[in-house]
């Protein structure tokens, strides 16, 4: 019995230790990302960038990277804000996220730096996708808008707005938006503008709505009270993950 318990502890530790901290830089700004190697055969060396929500690198993003590795993908959690810049509260988070939303070139630059690290870790530069949650979902769309060398992007309950100073380019990456049907933080006008943008840029895009789901529906650390505007929804969480898996099977 003791041997079995020890084996379970060691197995758990080995699983957790798959996450590797990666220090990289944007000029003088130090960034701290996390890499997880594919835990299944990955002959194409497919890599997935994970963009965290507005509080910065968190357990949710790391858990997603681990889950992607179990599916057979190399995964890298990107640090957008940089070491020492993670917000202490939602007020700071709104300010930090707002900067990158209004300066999409800077957001795209930080995503590209993360892609560079993922490629250094073993991913094929031509077999990359980007996923993101909330603020990170906005970043996934920005990776497509900036025509970074990615095959597809997935936005989980992300903002869809486009900065006024951002050019409208042809979108080459395939786009998947997974959206809470009752999300109060993404106005109808923003959704309509996004969909019109996708049509104008001749993008290959999909948008899936999840009933009774509001903002942040994949975040298990939230309660399930949708009246708060941001809440966990188990069914939407599971369905959106399966939609992402199907999307990856298509693009890769």
Which residues have C-beta within 8 Å of that of residue 228, sequence separation ≥ 6?
A: 214
**Tens digits of residue pLDDT in 128-160:** 999 999 999 999 999 999 999 999 999 999 999
15-46 pLDDT tens trace? 444 899 999 999 999 999 999 999 999 999 99
Is residue 106 situated within a structural domain? yes
Instruction: Tell me the pLDDT band of 76, cut-offs 50, 70 and 90.
Output: very high
Domain containing residue 128: 29-251
Instruction: Please check whether residue 12 lies inside any domain of the structure.
Output: no
| pLDDT above 50: residue 11 | no
Number of domains in the chain: 1
C-alpha–C-alpha distance, residues 63 and 52, integer Å:
11
Give dist(CA 121, CA 117) in Å, integer. 6
Stretch (H or E) spanning 19: strand 19-26
Indicate the pairing of strand 152-156 with strand 128-133. Answer: parallel
Q: Is residue 73 part of a domain?
A: yes
The pLDDT assigned to 6 comes to 43
- The mean pLDDT value of the chain amounts to 94
pTM: 0.93
Domain presence at residue 8: no
Classify residue 11: in a domain, yes or no.
no
In a domain, 38, yes or no: yes
Q: Helices 90-102 and 135-145, interaxial angle, to 10°?
A: 10
Could you tell me the CATH number of the domain that includes residue 214?
Answer: 3.40.50.1820
82: left (phi over 0), alpha (psi -120 to 50) or beta: left
pLDDT, tens only, 207-243: 999 999 999 999 999 999 999 999 999 999 999 999 9
| pLDDT of the residue at 244 | 99
Instruction: Give a yes or no: residue 13 inside a domain.
Output: no
Give the pLDDT band (50/70/90) at residue 106. very high
Separation of alpha carbons 132 and 97, rounded Å: 13
The reply to whether 44 falls in a domain is yes
> Rounded to the nearest 10 degrees, how much is the dihedral formed by the CA atoms of 116, 25, 108, 66?
60
Rounded to a whole number of angstroms, the CA Rg of the chain reads: 18
Look at residues 196, 146, 195, 190 and name the one whose alpha carbon lies nearest to residue 171.
146
| CA neighbor of 116 nearest in space, from 29, 31, 18 | 31
């Amino acid at each position: 019995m003791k041997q079995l318990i020890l084996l379970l502890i060691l197995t758990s530790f080995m699983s957790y230790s798959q996450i590797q901290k990666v220090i990289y830089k944007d000029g003088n700004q130090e960034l701290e990302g996390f890499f997880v190697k594919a835990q299944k055969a990955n002959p194409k060396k497919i890599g997935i960038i994970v963009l965290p929500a507005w509080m910065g690198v968190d357990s949710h993003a790391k858990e997603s990277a681990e889950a992607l590795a179990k599916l057979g993908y190399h995964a890298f959690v990107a640090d957008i804000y940089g070491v020492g810049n993670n917000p202490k509260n939602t007020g700071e988070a709104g300010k930090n996220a707002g900067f990158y939303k209004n300066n999409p070139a800077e957001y795209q630059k930080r995503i590209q730096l993360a892609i560079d690290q993922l490629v250094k870790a073993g991913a094929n530069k031509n077999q990359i996708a980007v996923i993101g949650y909330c603020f990170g979902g906005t970043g996934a769309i920005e990776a497509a808008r900036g025509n970074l060398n990615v095959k597809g992007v997935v936005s989980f309950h992300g903002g869809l707005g486009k900065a006024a100073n951002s050019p409208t380019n042809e979108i080459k990456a395939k786009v998947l938006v997974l959206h809470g049907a009752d999300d109060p933080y993404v106005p109808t006008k923003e959704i309509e503008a996004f969909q019109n943008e996708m049509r104008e840029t001749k993008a290959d895009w999909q948008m899936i709505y999840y009933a009774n789901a509001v903002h942040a529906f994949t975040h298990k650390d939230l309660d399930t009270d949708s009246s708060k505007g941001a809440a966990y929804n188990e069914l939407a969480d599971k369905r959106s993950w399966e939609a992402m898996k199907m999307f990856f099977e298509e693009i890769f």
